[in-house]
Structure formats: structure tokens, C-alpha cells
Structure 1
Amino acid sequence: MLNCGMTTNPSPQPIIAPTSFIGNREFVLTEWRFLLFGLLMAFWSSLGQTFFISLFSGQIRATLDLSHGDFGTYYALATTASAISLIWLGKLADMMRLEKLAIFILGGLCVAAILFSQISSLWMLVGGLYLLRMFGQGMMTHVYTTAMARRYVVTRGRAISIAQLGQTLSESIGPASIVALQAIFNWRSLWIGLPLIAFLTLAPFLRLLTRRTRLQDGEGLDGLGVNQPVPALAFGGKKQWRRNEVLRDPAFWLGFIWLAAVPSFVLTGLLFHQIYLAEAKGVALSTWTASYVLYAVFAVIGSLTIGQLIDRFSARRVAAHTLLPNTLACLALWLGSAEIGVPLFFILFGLANGMPHATNAALIAEIYGTRHIGQIKALFMPVGVFASALSPMLMGWMIDAGLGLDAVLGMNIALAFGAQIMAMLVLHFRKSL
């Protein structure tokens, strides 16, 4: 295997896994350390995720005297700035060892969270949100999905989907836990304590967790920077796309971009305004947050199922269909009663959230290769982040304008369904583009 090292001794050459399908038990027992790394990175990315920040929206709006639309607008500005930053910052995944990159990003997120605990003005709010979104939703997710996509081939789908369970876990226990903790602790104290716990549970173990093991059959970089040209044969003779080539690929603009944008738009917007959704459906907030148990269970089911399907059939064949639960979830909340529609919404919402990350990362690796996957994913990540910036602002304006729940959900249904059709067509006809 080609040595791509710059400053450190090369890692031992892995024992390349067989090309036949690898059983789940063997995979997990052999790869548990690296899978745990991804899972913990995903879990603590929650400090910069919308669902987590939105749980403090009431206190933040009260502190700074903001409306729903005001908060959504400032959130959008900060998130858009973080999306632009990711275009350049994301390239670090092709330039730094995974262990060093992970400690840098984790440290940045923890510092950002502690600074966020001190907000007392609009500029501090926007700056704090910018850092949380960039290091949390952006780089924490980018680092672990890039590492999984690069290190695995035969088991790529399952690796990413298992790691993603960390975010699902945080989304399932986070809302109810934060609501309970807010009754005991000041909200600022939580933003100090939680990042310290995050750092202590992951940073000391990064060297152990990021070592290569025998079923990591991906070639090329594993978070290790390289300036030397790498022959195509080092990657099985497959073309390794560069970012400027991807930008000239019609399939990127016509289809792939929607796979990154739409789930982020729908999921983020609805999570950001979840308190409004609960009020509009006449559901108590405690009952609403308790429904996250359903969300968590079906996010796990969706994530693990899509990982298996990717490994058996390829990401190309399943990617477009991962958008369907977004449409169905909005329909359930729109048309269903509080007793039926809300639980069904959380079930479908869980499936919608459990599928895209594994699918999109695997799709990029399948189509564009893994040699420059850091910089290529750094194109896709800002698309999703920008969509997550736009939706809270747009939906906040709609709510403030009195357009109501029907208009908000109708817009999301039309967008998700249209994007699915577009992605299906592009993936079907890509060879002719």
C-alpha cells in the first residue's frame, strides 16, 4: 500500500478485507474501536446541531428580546457564514492525520460552547452560533463521515450508518434530558458543563480509537495529509475526481446537490421551530419531547437498514429513495390528528434523519473516489449547512406572518417530493450526462 505520510511514521499496512460480504458480527467485533470513534464524534456534534440549540431558544429569545423570525434570521446568518468557511476548512481532512484533526475540531467545539454560555448581545449570539455550527454540525460530522468513507469499501455503508447512531442517540435522549436539566440548572451552566464532558469522554482515547485495523480495506489517506501525487493504480485504477472537476459535473448540480440540501432544509427547519409545531398541534412540550423515543428507534432502524442496502446494492441505487420519509413525515403531521399524526410524524422523521448521512457519504466515495474526498465533501457539507441556515429563517418568517402550519408543511412536502424525482432521474441517466 502506498505510503502517503509526511511527518510521522507510516501506520502498519492493514490486512485487506475480502471482497465478499462481511457479516455484521465479525465487522462490529473487529472494528468496534473505530466505530466507537465515529459514534462519539457524531454524539458530541449535537452541541452544534439545530435540535440541541433550539431547546434553548426560549431563554435566548427572552435574554435578547427576539421574535421567532429574528432568532431564525440571526441563526441563518451564522450558519451561512459557517457553510462558507467549511469550503476551505473541510480540506483539512485531506491534509491532517485523523487523530490530530479530531482533537482540533473537538477542542474548537468545546471552546465555542463555553463561549456561547456567555452571550449577552447580538454580536455574541451570531459569533457563538457561527462557531457552534462550524465545529459542531459542520466539521465534527465532516471528519467522521469522511474517515469512514475513506477507510472502508466493502462495509462502507454499515460503517457510516453505525457511526451515525451517535447523533441519533443524542437526538433521542437530548431533548427530554435538557428539558429536565433546565429545571435544575441555569441554561448557561449547561453550556459550560456539557462541552467539558464531551472533551473528557473522547479526547484522551483518540489515539487508540483511530488506529487502522484489518477490515479497513480502503486505500489512500486515512486523515493523513499528502502533497505527493498518487498514481491511479493505488486506488484500483478508478478515477479520483478533484473538486474543480466535480464542479463541472452536471450531475452534481442537477441531482446530487438536492440530496445534500433537502434533508437538511426540512429536518433543521422543523426541529428549529418544534416548539411552534407542538403548540400548533395542541401538544404539551413534555409530551412532544417524549415522542423522541419513537424518533430514536426509527432513526436507528433507518440508519442500519440503509447501511445494509448500500453495502448490498450500492449508494447509487438507494440514494434518491431516502428523501421519501421527509415527504411522508410532513404529510403525517399536516393531515393527522395530535393523537395519531404526531407519533407517526416522529416515526417517519426518524427514518428521514437516519438515512441521508450514510447514503451521501457513500455516494460521493462511489462516484468521485476517496483520494480527495475531504475537499469534495467540503462542497456537499456547505450545501446542507446553507439549507439548514435558510429553513429556520424562512419558516420563522412564515410563522411571524401568520401563514400557519399548513403553509410550512406544504412547502416542505413540495420540496422533498420534487427533489426525490430530480435525484432519481439524474442517478438513472448519469452516464449520459
Structure 2
Amino acid sequence: MGQGTYRRLLKERRRDLSFGFLFFFLSCVGQTFFISNFGPTWREEFAVSDGLLGLCYFIATSLSALCLAVAGPLIDRTTLARYACGVVVFVACGCLIAAASPNIAVLCLALLMLRLGGQSLMIHVAMTSTARTFGNDKAKALALCIMGLGVAQAVTPGLLVIGIEAVGWRLSWVASGLVILCAGLAVVQLLPQSKTTANLSQGAKLPALAVLRDPRVIIS
């Protein structure tokens, strides 16, 4: 029965699944398996140690987690399509700032944008869209969509190695930003129009701090 449900979803809801799958895929620019390919060139370019570069990455990741508590709930205050477009532009800007970084401080800013936008918000959009769209089938749909991240993990590191060797790390980030911008805005068109309302729930809204104090959130 489970396999039949997956086949039915792939047959009947292919367009809806494509949005989640591709957004998971595009989130790769903020993932460690993507960014780590630039480590050797950054250490050489900015004359920093492994420890200092790792510290910058830690700070950027930690700050992105804090910013997510503020940026994440905004998805309930606008349409999903508008929010997704904003995230795509934000991530693309992070790529371009990384490409133009003159020093390690600016690179830290770029890492913050990439970790927040790619690793957090793009996945946030993909999961929210899937949950809103598929109802009782959302768990199965999410299992299919999240495969996009696995595909990205298998494909993008090899492409990056080739790109960095061919055109350098800065142009590789420029290319990544252009791909995110063009592909991301195109993927947003796959969103079901009926599911992009600002807030599908009419229930009471909890303040962000109240949610963070919920023991169930802490445990999860």
C-alpha cells in the first residue's frame, strides 16, 4: 500500500513534488558539503588558518540559527511565493558577496547569508510548501522531496571541483548565484496557486519566544 501511495503521488502530484525537490536541491549552496569545497582556496586567498576559518564558519552558522527564529515566522505573514522569491534573491546575493569578498570579515557575512538562506530558509520553504499542499500525504511527499538534497550532495561537489579548477573560486560563486537566481525564480512558478495564501490557519498565533519556551520544541 505504501509503494502504491508513492507511485500515486509521483503520477498525480508530480508538479507539486517538483517544487519541494528542486528547492531542497538548490539549498545546497548553504550546506557544508558545498561550502567546504572552497576551504583550501579561502585559506590561501585570505592567509588564514584552519582554526580561524572554522571559527568564522561556526559564528556564521550560530548567528543564522538565531536569525531563523526571526526570519522563519515571516512565512506566515505573506504569500509563500513572495517569501520564496525573497529567499532566492537573498541566497543569490550571498553568493555574489562571497565572490566579491575582499577579506575574511566580508566572507563571514557571506557565510551568514548562505547558511541562513540556503541551509535554513530554503529548506523551511520546501517543508512548509509540502506540509500545506499534501495534507495527509505530507510525510510521504516530504520523503520524496528531500531526495533533492541527496541528489545535490552527490552531484554538486564534483561540479564545483571542476569549476574551481577551470575558472577559479570567485567565478564559481558568481555562477552559483546566477543559477540560484534564475533557477530559483523559475521553480517558484511550480507552486500551487491555491496554496500560497499568507496563512492557512485561522488559529491563534504564538509569539516566537513562547514557541521557543515550549518543552516540545526544545526536546525536538
TM-score by length of 2: 0.89
- Of the candidates 14, 27, 52, which is equivalent to residue 9 of structure 2? 27
Relative to structure 1, is the Cα distance of residues 57 and 243 closer, same or farther in structure 2, using a 3 angstrom cutoff? same
Gapped regions of structure 1 (runs ≥ 5)? 1-19, 214-221, 233-239, 257-433
Partner Cα distance (1:126, 1:167) in 2: 24
Relative to structure 1, is the Cα distance of residues 44 and 117 closer, same or farther in structure 2, using a 3 angstrom cutoff? same
Q: Which residue of 1 aligns with 2:202?
A: 230
Q: Which residue of 1 aligns with 2:87?
A: 105
Q: Which residue of 2 aligns with 1:250?
A: 215
Partner Cα distance (2:17, 2:106) in 1: 36
Partner Cα distance (2:197, 2:118) in 1: 21
Relative to structure 1, is the Cα distance of residues 251 and 91 closer, same or farther in structure 2, using a 3 angstrom cutoff? closer
Give 1:127 deviation, angstroms. 0.8
Equivalent residues of 1:47, 1:132 under 8 A apart: yes
AA matched with 1:86: L
Q: Which residue of 1 aligns with 2:191?
A: 210
Kindly report which structure 2 residues correspond to 1:53-202, keeping only aligned pairs within 5 A, or say none: 53-202=35-184
AA matched with 2:197: L
Relative to structure 1, is the Cα distance of residues 112 and 244 closer, same or farther in structure 2, using a 3 angstrom cutoff? closer
AA matched with 1:49: Q
Kindly report which structure 2 residues correspond to 1:260-339, keeping only aligned pairs within 5 A, or say none: none
AA matched with 1:41: F
Aligned residues: 219
Equivalent residues of 2:100, 2:170 under 8 A apart: yes
AA matched with 2:141: A
Gapped regions of structure 2 (runs ≥ 5)? none
Give 1:134 deviation, angstroms. 1.1
Report % sequence identity. Answer: 26
Partner Cα distance (2:83, 2:154) in 1: 28
Give 1:161 deviation, angstroms. 1.6
Give 1:113 deviation, angstroms. 0.2
Equivalent residues of 2:97, 2:107 under 8 A apart: no
AA matched with 2:134: Y
Structure of greater Rg: 1
Equivalent residues of 2:22, 2:187 under 8 A apart: no
AA matched with 1:211: P
Equivalent residues of 2:30, 2:119 under 8 A apart: yes
- Per-residue CA shift, 1:292-345, capped at 9, x if unaligned? xxxxxxxxxxxxxxxxxxxxxxxxxxxxxxxxxxxxxxxxxxxxxxxxxxxxxx
Give 1:166 deviation, angstroms. 1.3
Equivalent residues of 2:130, 2:142 under 8 A apart: yes
Give 1:148 deviation, angstroms. 1.1
Give 1:231 deviation, angstroms. 5.5
Give 1:242 deviation, angstroms. 6.6
Tell me which protein shows more helix as a share of its residues.
Answer: 2
AA matched with 2:129: A
Partner Cα distance (1:157, 1:229) in 2: 19
Question: Which contiguous aligned blocks of 4+ residues in structure 1 show a shift greater than 6 angstroms?
Answer: none
Relative to structure 1, is the Cα distance of residues 129 and 30 closer, same or farther in structure 2, using a 3 angstrom cutoff? same
AA matched with 1:252: V
Give 1:224 deviation, angstroms. 2.3
Which one has more relative contact order, counting CA pairs under 8 Å at least 6 apart? 2
Give 1:86 deviation, angstroms. 0.9
Relative to structure 1, is the Cα distance of residues 244 and 118 closer, same or farther in structure 2, using a 3 angstrom cutoff? closer
Equivalent residues of 2:25, 2:148 under 8 A apart: yes
Give 1:243 deviation, angstroms. 4.8
Give 1:198 deviation, angstroms. 2.5
**What is the root-mean-square deviation in Å for CA atoms of aligned residues?**
2.4
